[in-house]
């Protein structure tokens, strides 16, 4: 089984962190292919970044289909391009926000999301409603640390995120924490040990769910709005992205 884990930003060091987290949870014999697109933003922290990241992400899915990839994980908490990727892919495509929120709802009656910048909170809030977990999500909180600062040893990212998690448990009535950025994957175990509650990294949750779906023989439906994109011409620099008939 091959699972392609796509970090939609272009920061390779973060992709390596994400890939390491994915490999730790993958079963023996499961190949994790961790990639970043060739073009796109260095980090994804707003709607514009998400939109600009989608073409590179979708190109990685198109390449994966040609290479026989069994499932995909979109390793950005905004789940950018998720529905479009599901139109392109035969196998499951799992976004880390959806995976983490659903996993949290299995192990706690209430969870808080701790994410990066305040401006990304609204994006996560929209996903809470989209995925139907409003009854479980107590609050989405910002730690006010930029995505790329998570990799800066001088930023004290672990302490900043830990403090916000503690406030979430004390103030929100939550019993679990969802980490709202793929770049926090390497903090998950330490945070869980310190807090004594389930701390859920979406990369790990998504890989586990993708693997389970593939083993169960479940693919993405091609009836309805996840059917293949209709063949048509695209103009200009997007010509190479035009959908074609199978």
Which residue, among 216, 217, 215, 242, has the nearest Cα to 231 in the 3D structure?
Answer: 242
Answer yes or no: is pLDDT of 14 > 80: yes
Q: Which of 70-74, 101-105, 151-155 has the lowest mean pLDDT?
A: 151-155
- Residues 6 or more apart whose CB falls under 8 angstroms from that of 17 comprise 151, 183, 185, 186
Distance CA(174)–CA(167), nearest Å, equals 10
Annotated domain spans of the chain: 2-96+205-241, 97-201
- Residues 32-46: what's their mean pLDDT? 96
pTM of the model: 0.96
2-96+205-241 and 97-201 in the same fold: yes
- Confidence band of 244 (pLDDT split at 50, 70, 90): confident
Residue 153's pLDDT is 86
Among 32, 125, 40, 42, smallest CA distance to 78 is for: 125
pLDDT for the residue numbered 5: 98
Flag whether pLDDT at 15 surpasses 90.
yes
Express each pLDDT in 189-215 by its tens digit: 999 999 999 999 999 999 999 999 999
Pick the CATH number of 2-96+205-241 from 2.130.10.10, 3.30.420.40, 3.40.50.12500, 3.40.50.460: 3.40.50.12500
Cβ atoms within 10 Å, residue 50: 20
At 108, give phi and psi (nearest 5°). -155, 150
Q: Which CATH number fits domain 97-201: 3.40.50.12500, 3.30.930.10, 3.40.250.10, 3.40.1710.10?
A: 3.40.50.12500
In angstroms, how far apart are the furthest CA atoms of the chain?
Answer: 54
Do residues 56 and 41 lie in contact, with contact meaning Cβ atoms separated by under 8 Å?
A: no
């Amino acid at each position: 089984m091959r699972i392609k884990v796509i970090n939609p930003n272009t920061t390779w060091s973060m992709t390596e962190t994400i890939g390491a987290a994915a490999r730790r949870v993958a079963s023996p014999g499961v190949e994790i292919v961790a990639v970043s697109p060739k073009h796109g933003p260095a980090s994804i922290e707003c709607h514009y970044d998400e939109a600009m990241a989608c073409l590179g992400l979708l190109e990685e899915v198109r390449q994966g289909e040609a290479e026989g990839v069994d499932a995909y994980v979109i390793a950005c908490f905004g789940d950018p391009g998720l529905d479009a990727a599901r139109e392109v892919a035969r196998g499951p495509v799992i976004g880390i926000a959806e995976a983490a929120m659903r996993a949290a709802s299995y192990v706690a009656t209430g969870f808080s999301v701790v994410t990066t910048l305040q401006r990304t909170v609204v994006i996560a809030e929209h996903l809470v409603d989209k995925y139907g977990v409003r009854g479980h999500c107590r609050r989405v909180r910002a730690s006010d640390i930029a995505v790329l600062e998570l990799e800066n040893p001088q930023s004290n990212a672990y302490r900043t995120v830990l403090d916000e998690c503690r406030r979430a448990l004390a103030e929100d009535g939550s019993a679990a924490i969802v980490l709202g950025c793929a770049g926090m994957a390497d903090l998950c175990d330490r945070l869980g040990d310190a807090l004594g509650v389930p701390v859920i990294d979406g990369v790990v949750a998504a890989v586990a769910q993708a693997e389970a779906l593939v083993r169960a023989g479940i693919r993405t439906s091609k009836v309805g709005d996840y059917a293949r994109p209709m063949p048509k011409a695209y103009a200009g620099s997007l010509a190479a992205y035009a959908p074609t008939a199978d």
